[in-house]
Amino acid sequence: MSLKSVGFKSFSEKRSSRISSILRRYGTLMFFILMIAFFGLTSRYFFTISNALTILDQIAVLAILATGLTVVMITGRIDLSIGYAVSALGVLAANALLITHSITLAVLTVILGGILIGAVNGFTISFLGIPDFIGTLAMGFLVEGVNQAFTRGYPVSNLPQRFYIFGQGKFIGIPISVFITLGILLITWFLLGRTRFGRYVYAIGGNEEAAVLSGVSVRPNILISYILCGVGAAVTGLVLTSRIGAAYPTAGDGMLLDTIATVFLGATAFRNGEANLWGTLLGVLIIGTMTNGLTLLDVPYYFQLMAKGLIIVVAVTITSIERRRAG
């Protein structure tokens, strides 16, 4: 074999490796762009300002909840109680509002409730050593049981009109929920990217044993991660209740799978199979845009579920492959 052919082969392998690396890192983003192009060409209503605002408003609740879950999943753990927590915290917000007649006190009450749920989850997992799957699932059942016992399955309604500002209000034509989501994202970005806590969280998720040997306090940081996830569930419950106009005891129960799906989907973007904030945002945008676009095309709901399920399977498969390669 000549030196020339060897050099060409080496160049070809490097180019193939570079293309493969780009696809692994930005393939999810490319898919999102192609999806936008497809819906834009097939629906004349897709590329409109009103539809863009509709998408942002629709994904706000999911984005807030997924942001909190991302922090937990970066540590290599999960929280299966968040859907039930959203339902219960929405009921808590509505009752606090009806009792105190103060939006400020209602907001503080629901945030404290989220902190409590997150703290219990974090404590049982990090300090008692209960597996995260079992611990958070048990917490979900506990929260759901208390919620159903308190409400007897009936919604809490007749809320003051001013409370609807969180889920239905607008500022300069943009839904308030979008501003709330942006605020949550920026705060989380700062915590993960500009603080010691963020460095520790990524270290724990990357290699917990190495993090311990490096002097990282694993248990307190896991506890804080779950508290942040609980706060995310609280804000989600607040916005969702405000949007619906009443607190339904099962309003957030079905959000768990969508939330997990967006985080796993986001893990295929930007960081080799690892949960990350901007990847989660991209995952939320993909799920929200796909749902919106298929609805505009009058695609039946069951086909939308099938498409979502297919995307989740692909995302989890890619994430698993990337983690094996990284390991």
For 200-241, the DSSP string reads: HHHHHHH-HHHHHHTT--HHHHHHHHHHHHHHHHHHHHHHHH
Q: For the chain, what percent of residues have pLDDT higher than 90? A: 68
Supply the pLDDT for residue 27. 73
Mean pLDDT of 112-126: 97
pLDDT exceeds 60 at position 72: yes
Supply the pLDDT for residue 18. 66
Supply the pLDDT for residue 264. 84
Supply the pLDDT for residue 4. 52
Q: Name 156's bridge partners.
A: 247
Mean pLDDT of 122-144: 95
Q: Residue 163 carries which DSSP code? A: G
Structure-token pair, residue 248: 């339904």
Supply the pLDDT for residue 149. 94
Residues with Cβ < 8 Å from 231, sequence gap 6 or more?
68, 111, 114, 115, 118
Q: What is the pLDDT of residues 15-54, one digit of tens each?
A: 656 665 666 667 778 888 888 999 999 999 999 999 999 9
pLDDT exceeds 70 at position 115: yes
Tally the residues of the chain. 327
Q: How far is CA 157 from the centre of its chain?
A: 27
Q: Which of 161, 159, 142 is nearest to 150 (CA)?
A: 142
Supply the pLDDT for residue 320. 65
Of the pLDDT bands very low, low, confident and very high (cuts 50, 70, 90), residue 304 is: confident
Dist CA 198 CA 205 (whole Å) = 11
Most confident of 1-5, 30-34, 228-232, 307-311: 228-232
Of the pLDDT bands very low, low, confident and very high (cuts 50, 70, 90), residue 267 is: confident
Mean pLDDT of 83-90: 96
Predicted TM-score (pTM) of the model is 0.89
Dist CA 304 CA 298 (whole Å) = 10
Q: Taking the domains of the chain in order of start, what are their residue ranges?
A: 28-326
Supply the pLDDT for residue 11. 52
**Largest interatomic CA distance in the chain:** 85
pLDDT exceeds 70 at position 240: yes
Least confident of 10-24, 109-123, 169-183: 10-24
Q: Span 28-326: which CATH code?
A: 1.10.3470
Q: Give the residue, 217 or 8, on which the prediction is more confident.
A: 217
What residue type is 44 in one-letter code?
Answer: R
pLDDT exceeds 70 at position 300: yes
Q: For the chain, what percent of residues have pLDDT higher than 70? A: 87
The DSSP result for 110-151, as a single string, is HHHHHHHHHHHHHHHHHTS---HHHHHHHHHHHHHHHHHHHH
